Amino acid sequence: MQVELFVESLIADRNASSNTLEAYQRDINHFQKWVKKPFSEVIANDIKQYIQFLFGQEFKVSTVNRRISSLKQFYLYLFNENLITTNPCLHTKTAKTPRSLPKVLETSQMVNFLDFLKNAKDPANIRVRTILELLYASGLRVSELIKLPLNCIMGIGTNNPMILAKGKGNKERLVPLNDTCIESLRSYVKVREFFVSGVKSAHFLFASRSKEGCLTRQRVGQLIKNTAIEFGMDPTIISPHVFRHSFATHLLQGGSDLLTIQKVLGHSDIATTQIYTHVFPESVYQLVQQHHPIAKKNK
């Protein structure tokens, strides 16, 4: 019951997404099964031993930190609601996460991969091609892509076609689309009815016969890896998020500024976007040399 109340508070106070709510529930339920005692009887040492257990099971640091964060927020809620008298997570700290650089494809690799299905005729391949084009053209998260409504494309036929995406916290943003992506979308819309099944699926751009009415994140990842295998690419180096990272990195290489990339990606904090400055430091160095007024003067 306490977990359900906590989840309801997340919906009311933060307008949390379904993915976020599911993650909190999984993390708290996992802890409950491990600790085998009521939440009100948990002490700080239980939390400490649980964290040691997670590391002993060789969970990733990011996974452990997410579970720590879930427990900290859950117990803070219980304490604030006077459901417990002592917060066992009060002094619990997250572990330091080793900084890892995002995986990206080189521009030539990405272009060749996208061209693989350029002349697709089969509805299924046309849909996959459109997904690939849209991911690379917009930098959308896969969770944003699958939930796109049918009317998300704006300004088709004008010089500024854009897609209206809804990101974390239901924040909306407009992302410009290139001509190649628009062409692919037009081809897909002609065969979209092939994937529509029922009233629920009629709402989504990427309709599906799944119970959700749209493609799932897992299915999109599977489609991308299957296409990579057919193309002759190692499927372990490609994923929906690799498209997002490649999109941002290639924009930065092309001369875009971090604030623009932050806005397009939907990052709430510029610090999240700054990781892309470490992917190709040489290209960033060259940009500074080309655009800084003092560097220009010295040249």
Catalytic residue among 127, 147, 192, 244: 244
Catalytic residue list contains 217: no
- Distances, alpha carbon 295 to alpha carbons 52, 255, 287, 298, in Å: 52, 16, 10, 5
Q: Catalytic residue at 276?
A: yes
Greatest extent of the chain over all pairs of C-alpha atoms, in Å:
70
Burial letters for 75-109: b for 16+ Cβ neighbours within 10 Å, e otherwise? bebbbeeeebeebbbeebeeeeeeeeeeebbeeee
What's the distance, CA 225 to chain centroid? 17
Could you say which of 30, 200, 241, 263 is catalytic?
241
Catalytic residue among 141, 147, 192, 245: 141
Please list the active-site residues: 141, 168, 241, 244, 267, 276
